[in-house]
Structure 1
Amino acid sequence: MTQSSTPTTSQQPSSPKRSLGLKPKDWISVGVYAVIYMVLSFAVAMLGYIPVLMPFSGVFIGIVCQTPVMLMALKVRHAGVFTVFGIITALLMGPGQIPTMVCSVVVGILADLICHFGGFTNRNLLIVAVGVFNIWSCGKYIPFFFTRDAYLAQLAKGYGQSYVDQVSGLFPMWMAWLMPVLLFVSGVIGGWIASKLLSKHFEKAGLV
């Protein structure tokens, strides 16, 4: 006499998987994180009112402001998340910041491609993607390098000639090539710091 047995399947914990599209709740989440990120970025960018610190405001943003970006990447594991984040960032910058708006969208697409290779689950690639996204700040410096006279004239109307005289000598042409590297490195550092903070305070609480 034989006994029939039903096959059993072992259940193993599954790692988060990416999806090919953003759901409505994801759009809301990305929008919320984008607003938080921009508020932090504008607060840090206030350091630019000190002329000698103005060239490094994007570096400070990269180091200090990446926690909402990393949190977004960990919670919304979908293709297109950085692209949408870049578009929202561009819109929040306003139409007067065309180079920055273009940079935001371009680096958002590049960051998405980097995350794609890690299935949106590889933490190291997420940190690299955060670093790439921080290069959006490079758009703020493009006028200094390529339309310097017109930009400084416009800057003088808002900040005064004394401020412009101090800032004008801080952007030699060779910095046009160095600035994207500085922004990427600072973004990676900020992404790594954010990853450690989230691991300590959010993942243990089950929030990501």
Structure 2
Amino acid sequence: MEVKNNKLQAKDLINVGIFTAIYFVIFFAGMMLGYIPIFIPLLGLVCPILCGIPFMLYLTKVKKFGMVSLTGIILGLLNVLIGAGVLVLIFGVVFGILGDLVLKAGKYQSWKCTLLGNGVFSLWIMGYVSRMFLTRTEFFTFLESNYGAEYTATLASYTPNWMFPVLFVVTFIGGILGALLGKAVLKKHFEKAGIA
């Protein structure tokens, strides 16, 4: 009986679909800030904060391993479809699973693991940002052909190579802040779900 309870059922997959869709819409809206070059390095901070409320509500419904992993995979696939490149899918898979493992370690009841889990999960966004560093020449060549030399030069000046590890930290902090915001707004839901 316990094995059956641990398997994802239809209602779990419905929750995955609904909340992943909401997350993606809010994430995509946040990404629009990228039209202003200075905001691109800050997307890892801004997007997890914006997505914090719906994702925290989602986590009150996550009680089984695999739901957050699926969300990471779907978000990665959606971004590949809109032309964000394969790195974002790889990061979605890796940090979706790692976020899920952190939540599972707290048996989906620990606030500390929920907080850390959201911080870890939010690092999937670095797959989007990583193109600026791991495929730098190709990325900026593509960017220049679409947005012009001035935009590209400005963004390049804001993102020297040493910024790469810094942005991982910034994105993790964004996830923590998003979780805190989400919990504050959804306090009653957390209490009902038994998440301390």
Q: What TM-score do the two structures reach when normalised by structure 2?
A: 0.89
* Distance in 2 of aligned mates of 1:141 and 1:68: 22
The answer to whether the aligner puts 1:43 opposite 2:26 as a matched pair is: no
Report how far residue 207 of structure 1 moved. 8.6
Does the CA contact (< 8 Å) of 2:44 and 2:171 recur in 1? Answer: yes
Report how far residue 153 of structure 1 moved. 0.8
* Distance in 2 of aligned mates of 1:203 and 1:185: 21
Report the structure number with the largest CA radius of gyration: 1
Report how far residue 76 of structure 1 moved. 2.5
SS for the counterpart of 2:8 is coil
The answer to whether the aligner puts 1:64 opposite 2:50 as a matched pair is: yes
SS for the counterpart of 2:14 is helix
Which shows bigger deviation, 181-190 or 92-101? Answer: 92-101
Q: After the TM superposition, which residues 1-208 of structure 1 pair with which residues of structure 2 at under 5 Å, given as runs?
A: 19-95=5-81, 96=83, 97-200=85-188, 202=189
Does the CA contact (< 8 Å) of 1:45 and 1:58 recur in 2? Answer: no
Does the CA contact (< 8 Å) of 1:73 and 1:81 recur in 2? Answer: no
Report how far residue 157 of structure 1 moved. 2.1
* Distance in 1 of aligned mates of 2:150 and 2:163: 22
Report how far residue 203 of structure 1 moved. 5.5
* Distance in 2 of aligned mates of 1:113 and 1:22: 15
Q: 1:167 to 1:41 in 2, by over 3 A?
A: same
Asked which structure has the greater RCO (Cα within 8 Å, sep 6+), the reply is: 2
Report how far residue 28 of structure 1 moved. 1.2
Does the CA contact (< 8 Å) of 2:108 and 2:114 recur in 1? Answer: yes
- How many corresponding residue pairs? 188
> Amino acid of the residue matched to residue 172 of structure 2?
F
Does the CA contact (< 8 Å) of 1:111 and 1:133 recur in 2? Answer: yes
* Distance in 1 of aligned mates of 2:177 and 2:154: 29
Report how far residue 103 of structure 1 moved. 0.3
Does the CA contact (< 8 Å) of 2:103 and 2:117 recur in 1? Answer: yes
RMSD across aligned positions (CA): 1.7
> Amino acid of the residue matched to residue 166 of structure 1?
T
Does the CA contact (< 8 Å) of 1:67 and 1:195 recur in 2? Answer: yes
Report how far residue 192 of structure 1 moved. 1.1
SS for the counterpart of 1:158 is helix
Higher helix share: 2
Identity %: 33
* Distance in 2 of aligned mates of 1:140 and 1:117: 27
Write out per-residue CA displacement over residues 131-181 of structure 1, whole angstroms, 9 at most, x where no aligned residue: 111111111122211221211110112212221111111111111111111
